[in-house]
Structures are given as C-alpha cells and as structure tokens.
Amino acid sequence: MFGIVRPCVDHSCGSVLTAWRAHLCGLCLTLRDHHGQFARMATNYDGLILSVLTEAQDSRPAEQRTAGPCPLRGFRTTDVVSSAERGARLAAVVSLALAAGKIRDHAADGDGMAGRRVSGAPLRHVAASWSVAAARDAESLGFDMTVLTEAVDRQVALEAAAAPSLLQVTEPTETAVAAAFAHTAALAGEPRNAESLREAGRLFGRIAHIIDAVEDLDEDRARGSYNPLVATGTSVAEAGRLCEDALTGLGLAVQDLELRDRHLVEALLVGETRHAVRRAFAERVHPTDPRRKIAAGIVTFLTCGLYRPPWSRYRQGGEKGRCYLSNFGCGACWDGTCDCS
C-alpha cells in the first residue's frame, strides 16, 4: 500500500482510526469484489479519501458490512464500507489506475521487475488489464477516465522535456486529483461543493507529488533516476515552502465544503496531510553541530519528552505519543482530549 495519509495511533483519536480503517478495508475489498483478488495490491491510502469525501457529503452514512478475519488486522473481523458504495468504487477505480500508471512508469524507466524485458512482461500485462478495468468501472460511475490517462501522458512528456518549474511538473497530478475529488460531489448529489473540492484536490495532488519527490530524492540521485527536484533545480527548502503554502490553501478549501460530517475529512485531508509534510521534511533536518543534539536531548529529558527537536520522528505526535510516561498510567496531560478534533 502506498500514499501519504496514514493516521498513527500516537496522534489520532480512536474514532478517526476506526473510521479510517473502515474505509481502508472497504477499499481493499471493493478492489477484490470488482477487479479480482490480485487487484487488492493496488490499495492506496490516499485513494480512500474519495470514499471518505463521498460519505461526508451524502445525506446518509455509507452502508457497511462485516469483513472476515484479515492478517493485517490481527485476524479480527470488523465493519467496513460496502463495496456497493459509489465512493468506495470511485476510490477503487482511481487506485487501480494509479497503480497501473506506476507500473508503466517503472517499465519506461527500466526500474524493478516491470522494467525487465522478459520477466516484467506479466506485470506490464497486469497494468494494461487494470487500466481497462478501471476505465470500465469509471464509466459506470460517470467519471471521465480520459482526465487521468491524459494526465499520465502529459506527465511523461513534461519529464522528457525537462520542465523548468516544479509546479509545471506537478500540474498533471494536480489536475487528475482535482477531477477525482470534484466527482465525489456528483456522486453525493452536492454539486455546490464541486469547485472547492477541485481546489482541494489540486493542492493535495501537489503536496503528494512533492512529498514523493522528497522521499525518493536520495535514492534517485544514487541511481541516476529522474527526480522532479533535481530536474527543476528546486531545493528541499523551496519544496517545503510550496507544501506549506498548499497546506494553507487546502485547509481553506476544506472549510468551504458543505459536509454532513466534517470530522474525518478534516482529520485526514487537513491534519494527516500536515503530518505527512512535517514528516517528509523533518527527516531531512539533521544538525551537524553535536552541541545542538546535546542541548535538544537535555530539553527533551527535562520536559518528559513533550519537547522534541525538529529532526525527531516523534515531533508530530500528540502529547501521548511524545511523553515518556504515556505507558505508565500518568495520563494527566491528555485525559479527555482528542488530538485530531
């Protein structure tokens, strides 16, 4: 599974985690029910946002069903979003199309199994069949898949032409995600939300593309592979600024939405996206002066872990995730609160 929106028990409240898992497992089973067992490999953390957005705008909660035991849930049963729900089906269509696009991208770059001439042929065949299946189901939902396919073609052309600007490189992703987000308004019967959703999708697509580039930067440099930051001469600091600006716009776009239930949408699309940005860029901030590390360690110790330096992976966690005493019954710092509210 891939994607940037991944709630963590350290900073997400129980209701958000439960609802998120219902959509995640629902997406996985929708892929299986509509496209076969192997299609579950295309399950995408970010794709499930389409299911969440559709339910949040609809006049009724999404229909759920009880899913059987799964190894990823510790072999527990749970209630998940039904594969008959239009939001889950749209999420499956987009996830399948994205997975097929990634396979084709690896094949074009000569990367991994997909890039091998003979042994990669079955995987390339899977990508082709997924593309056909996604287009077929998209048509039944009234979603125009040409927006996604044209975006993929435009992305390849921009990378080959060495686009001068990072935002030019991210444009196809922005356009594709914007179209998918906007279509949730049509599925839910809330056309007034379409433009705000389009803007939210555009900015979310930009953030996701830039984060992917930042996370792959070191590996791409080592392998000599294409990376948007290197190709456009964009520094990590500038990429971070673009993400922060996009986060602000994303929050405003979400505020403009007319939703039956805002909590999960705001927690995932705003809160978790913010965590993803901080996580991606914090990992690249490492002090060279040992005195800074020592000073930060002392302050962290004296505050019982509530302070964490910018390079700490715990920095974006809630109080419970940061405090040393969180597992020893202290609880006074966070009792009765919900970090994601």
Q: Which residues have CB under 8 Å from 238's CB, separation 6+?
A: 166
CATH of range 14-282; options 1.25.40.10, 1.10.10.10, 1.10.760.10, 1.10.600.10: 1.10.600.10
Burial of 214 (0-12, 13-18, 19+ CB in 10 A): buried
Alpha-carbon distance 66 to 176, whole Å? 32
The band of 52, judged by pLDDT with boundaries at 50, 70 and 90, is very high
CB atoms within 10 A of CB 159: 18
Among candidate residues 7, 5, 101, the one with its CA nearest the CA of residue 44:
5
Q: State the angle between helix axes of 146-160 and 86-109 in degrees (0 to 180), rounded to the nearest 10.
A: 30
pLDDT for residue 40: 93
Please give the Cα distance from 335 to 322 (Å, whole number). Answer: 14
Asked whether the beta carbons of 61 and 85 are under 8 A apart, the reply is: no
CA distance 141 to 186: 10
Token digits of residue 221: 């440099």
Name which residue leads in pLDDT, 266 or 161.
Answer: 266
Q: pLDDT (tens digit, 9 = 90+) per residue, 160-182?
A: 887 789 999 999 999 999 999 99
Give CA–CA dist 77/293, Å, rounded: 45
Look up residue 337 and give its amino acid.
T
What pLDDT does residue 334 have? 38
Phi, psi values for residue 73, rounded to 5° = -110, 20
Residue 277 reports pLDDT greater than 90: yes
| Whole-number percent of the chain with pLDDT over 90 | 57
- Per-residue pLDDT band for 149 (boundaries 50, 70, 90) equals confident
Give the orientation angle of helix 86-109 with respect to helix 166-188, to 10 degrees.
160
Let me know the angle formed at the C-alpha of 195 by 189 and 196, rounded to the nearest 5 degrees. 95
Asked if 108 contacts 127 with a C-beta cutoff of 8 angstroms, the reply is no
Q: How confident is the model at residue 323 (pLDDT cuts 50, 70, 90)?
A: low
User: What is the DSSP annotation of 158-189?
Assistant: HHHTT-SSHHHHHHHHHHHHHHHHHHHHHHHT
Give the 3-state secondary structure of residue 142. Answer: coil
pLDDT, mean of residues 224-233: 93
Domain ranges of the chain: 14-282, 290-327
Write out the two tokens for 337. 């609160």
Backbone angles phi, psi at 225, to 5 degrees: -85, 165
Which carries the bigger pLDDT value, residue 65 or residue 105? 65
- pLDDT tens-digit series, residues 53-96: 999 999 999 999 999 888 887 888 999 999 999 999 999 999 99
- Per-residue pLDDT at 268: 94
pTM: 0.82
